[in-house]
Amino acid sequence: MKFKDGSACPAPDVEALARDYEQARDLGEVRLGRLGLYLPRLTQTVFLPLAALAHVYLRLEDLPVGMGCRRVPVGQYFLMAVLRNGGSYKAALTDRTCGDWALEQLHTLVPELRTGWVPGRD
């Protein structure tokens, strides 16, 4: 598996990332492991180390589903990750329960990490 470092922080070696990726919990378009967040893409997996995260929160977006005039908005939850260097990533989640679990685990792994939505920032 090919990993791409999505931040300016140095990443662990490929073997450690592969082991952590295999043990990481699948939450939809993102996996949460002990070393960081993994965002699988077509040709590679973006790795975001826990040390690179400044703020994480959940976001609910209404996505139109259907065709023509029969489009209905359906809610989709996303995990938003803001990096210390100013970048950000967005990944769709399976459901709200996965998002709440991810925020709890991230707060446990990195107690100083800001979690939850901050009014006026998004």
pTM, 2 dp: 0.83
Apex 96 CA angle, 18 and 90, nearest 5: 55
For residue 15, the surrounding DSSP H or E stretch is helix 14-23
Token pair 């939505």 in the structure block, residue? 117
13-19 CB contacts, 8 Å cutoff, 24+ apart: 17/47
Token pair 């995260």 in the structure block, residue? 53
- pLDDT tens-digit profile, the chain (122 residues): 688 877 767 767 889 989 999 999 999 999 999 999 999 888 989 999 999 999 999 999 887 888 777 877 788 899 999 999 888 999 999 999 999 999 999 999 999 999 887 776 55
- Hey, what are 1's tokens? 């598996």
